[in-house]
Amino acid sequence: MSEHEVSRVLSAPPSAAFAVASDVGRLPEWLPTVHITAGKTDGEVHVEGDSPAGHYENDGLWRAQPDQLRVEWSSESHGAPQTYAGWLQVADSGQDGSEVTVHLSFFEGNAPKDVEGALTSALDALAGLVES
């Protein structure tokens, strides 16, 4: 198992950061390797994309918790074994700013190369969407 975590301070209020980060339809805007191909049942999505490790396609779970400014996801779906899970947490950093932390856990095999670099790039893209 491997764990990977990256944080970034944004010059945008937590509500603005969470609004974009929790909208599964906007995920491809700040995580360019992901394409949401279909919404399934509530809380379930079908994703596919291309990462440095190659092409992937998964059904997975997606849950936004507005009262906690938290998003959680995983590859677990319909009893299939869970290969990865992650969460994104938005916190108030003061003076109309926010801190966004994203965490990924890989349970099987090795994580893709440069996970922290990819997470940093994703948070940079998120910042570009929410900072004015």
Dihedral class, residue 27 (left if φ above 0, else alpha if ψ from -120 to 50, else beta): alpha
Residues 27 and 3: their CA atoms lie apart, in Å, by 21
Residues 21 and 10: their CA atoms lie apart, in Å, by 13
Question: The CATH number of the domain where 75 resides is what?
Answer: 3.30.530.20
Residues 98 and 122: their CA atoms lie apart, in Å, by 16
User: CA nearest 4: which of 105, 74, 73?
Assistant: 105
E strand or H helix at 94: strand 84-94
| pTM for the whole structure | 0.85
What does the pLDDT look like over 41-86, one tens digit per residue?
557 777 777 766 677 777 778 889 999 999 998 876 566 667 788 8
What does the pLDDT look like over 3-37, one tens digit per residue?
999 999 999 999 999 999 998 888 888 887 776 66
Q: Please give the backbone phi and psi of residue 99, each rounded to the nearest 5 degrees, phi first.
A: -115, 130
pLDDT at 87 over 90: yes
Domain range for 72: 2-130
pLDDT of residue 5: 94
Q: In total, how many domains does the chain have?
A: 1
pLDDT at 131 over 60: yes
